[in-house]
Amino acid sequence: MTTKPWVKDVLFVGLGLCGLASLLWAFGPIPGLRAAPLAAVPRPTSEQAEIEAVASGVDDDLRALQAAAGVEPVPRADGLTLARRLSLALTGTIPSLEEIRALEAQPPERALAWWVDHVLADRRHADYLAERLARSLVGVEQGSLIVYRRRRFVAWLSDQLAHNRPWDRIATQMIADQGLWTQNPQTNFVTAAIKPGASVPQEEVLAGRVSRAFLGVRLDCAQCHDHPFDPRWTQADFQGIAAFFGRSKATIEGVAEIRGPYHYDAPGVDEPVPIEPSVPLWPELLPPQGGDRQRLAAWVTHPSNRAFSRAIVNRMWNLMLGRPLVEPVDDLPVDGEVPAALDRLADDFVAHGFDLRRLCRVIAATEAFGRESRAPSAEDDEPRLEARLSTWAEFPLTRLRPEQMVGALLQSASLSTVDHESHVVIKLARFVQEREFVRRYGDAGEDELEPDAGTIPQRLLMLNGDLVHRRTRDDLVGNAATRIAMLTDDDARAIEVAYLAVLTRRPSPVEAEHFGRRLSGLRGKARREALTDLYWTLHNSTEAAWNH
């Protein structure tokens, strides 16, 4: 069959129009050269005032510590620095250029609260926080697909956070719910502790995760003997918590409690020891009736169980400020003295229905979160530096974790926001690139909140890695540096946009003058390559690798 000439002409024109549309999409107006049309989410004035009042109380508590230590707090950071901190802490990436323009379009007195609302309403926040919490809840191993589906668990947890479900309700479902781990993903909290080929969970693993993740206590240190460093915890305390999971089993109908006596295989003991479920503190909060895991969940999440609220407050403070109020993050003095600021936040958390978003808003409104960071100077001895950090007189400098590093890299390469509204091809490419980068950069797993000194291979990956090269090179499909070079003739404007996209700030006069000289007189490919060099330089700056 012979194709008519006009058919070929139509196909040629159609392909040409598709190509033109692709170029217009790639090289359209730079988002962020004007205010982006992101709608502000109004927040009732009374609610915001109440949040600020609680934050003010936290500030008073911390100022008392600063006065006692003879420490003078540093000034408040600028708005773009705070926006970068919030975005990194709550979404694992930096603000896009269009988000920066939308933020700067807000009234100054309203800008930070608007940005907090914007970030918390973004699905990226739910996904990111779900992964951060899941690491303490189920670890990082994928396990056996037969009885454990980690991805379904994290997706379920993300859905709960996206709908702002109360934290006590989320915890109760994980600890107590029954059914198939595919249809009831929350039960993967239990099945994550089942070894391949087995049908019963390792109750000691679950006891350790409950105590660390939900109570902020390292009770698992008393698994084999009484706690070596804390006389409050005994082996019997650990075994009592483990016993709540001793009757659970994975059946064809899902996770269920098989009634019958529970025996604990104590290390060094020939015969299993019969153990009854028990709690180490506040036994009056434990319901006398119900299934084992239901009773445990009720005790863990009881409003009077201060360990539960303190634990999540301390963890969220760590995620947002880089270090917890009490270190380590999962080893709180349950019945002992803690900083007044921690108890104030915990009390507000309980009083407002275990609302995680409100907790984030309160923390973001504190002076501690809003202060400038300071690099240690030659005059700072270790005690003086620790006094400033432990009293929150300044924002602590912390290295970006792997997922934050790659999140910032991928977002800065796109001047528009890379989020759930992005094209599926962009989201798929991001997923693959992020996973490979984190694998090579080094993932700390469950210990990701521990301080990280950085490594030489990490620096080499940024300096010579393929992903950094691909996302900063002169690329006609639309890398940000290329788009800036092709659509902005003004060198000063191009430099400003590059700094905003990579570092979420404008260049200093010295920086603007230096790079202005480098770009002066360049045209075409030479100018594009100079701007890609600027992008690469900014990504490999010390500033880009730290939350500050």
In a domain, 194, yes or no: yes
- With 70 as the cut, is the pLDDT of residue 423 above it? no
For residues 451 and 542, membership in a common domain is answered with yes
In a domain, 519, yes or no: yes
Q: Of 237 and 321, which is predicted with more confidence?
A: 321
Tokens of 451: 């301080």
Q: Which residues pair with 399 in a beta bridge?
A: 546
For residues 174 and 234, membership in a common domain is answered with yes
Average pLDDT, the chain: 85
For residues 530 and 432, membership in a common domain is answered with yes
What is the number of other CB atoms lying within 10 angstroms of the CB of residue 497? 25
In a domain, 35, yes or no: no
Record the pTM: 0.88
Q: Could you give the angle at the alpha carbon of 101 between the alpha carbons of 99 and 103, nearest 5°?
A: 70
Number of domains in the chain: 3
In a domain, 533, yes or no: yes
For 475-499, what is each residue's pLDDT tens digit?
A: 655 688 888 888 888 999 999 999 9
For residues 528 and 450, membership in a common domain is answered with yes
For residues 500 and 465, membership in a common domain is answered with yes
- With 90 as the cut, is the pLDDT of residue 392 above it? yes
For residues 386 and 411, membership in a common domain is answered with no
Query: Which whole number is the average pLDDT over 420-429?
Result: 71
Query: What pLDDT band is residue 122 in, cutting at 50, 70 and 90?
Result: very high
For residues 332 and 381, membership in a common domain is answered with yes
Domain termination site, one of 390, 408, 435 = 390
How far is residue 295's CA from residue 297's CA, in Å, rounded to a whole number?
A: 5
For 151-196, what is each residue's pLDDT tens digit?
A: 999 999 999 999 999 999 999 999 999 999 989 999 999 999 998 8
**Residue of 157, 114, 118, 120 lying closest to 135 (CA atoms):** 157
Q: Of 222 and 247, which is predicted with more confidence?
A: 247
3-class SS of residue 547: strand
For residues 433 and 314, membership in a common domain is answered with no
In a domain, 299, yes or no: no
Domain termination site, one of 343, 363, 390 = 390
CATH number of the domain encompassing residue 423: 1.10.3130
Query: What pLDDT band is residue 24 in, cutting at 50, 70 and 90?
Result: very low
Q: Which of 15-24, 294-303, 327-336 has the lowest mean pLDDT?
A: 15-24
For residues 358 and 469, membership in a common domain is answered with no
Domain termination site, one of 355, 390, 425 = 390
In a domain, 422, yes or no: yes
For residues 494 and 531, membership in a common domain is answered with yes
In a domain, 204, yes or no: yes
For residues 443 and 385, membership in a common domain is answered with no
Query: Which whole number is the average pLDDT over 307-331?
Result: 95
- Contact by Cβ (8 Å): 80, 504: yes
DSSP-derived pairing of the beta strands 273-274 and 263-264? antiparallel
In a domain, 71, yes or no: no
Domain assignment of residue 541, given as a range: 397-548
For residues 362 and 458, membership in a common domain is answered with no
- Contact by Cβ (8 Å): 233, 215: no
Query: Which whole number is the average pLDDT over 301-330?
Result: 96
Q: Percent of the chain at pLDDT above 70?
A: 84
- With 50 as the cut, is the pLDDT of residue 384 above it? yes
For 61-106, what is each residue's pLDDT tens digit?
A: 999 999 999 999 999 999 999 999 999 999 999 999 999 999 999 9
**How much is the pLDDT for 1?**
46
- With 50 as the cut, is the pLDDT of residue 22 above it? no
What is the number of other CB atoms lying within 10 angstroms of the CB of residue 146? 13
- With 90 as the cut, is the pLDDT of residue 315 above it? yes
- With 60 as the cut, is the pLDDT of residue 111 above it? yes
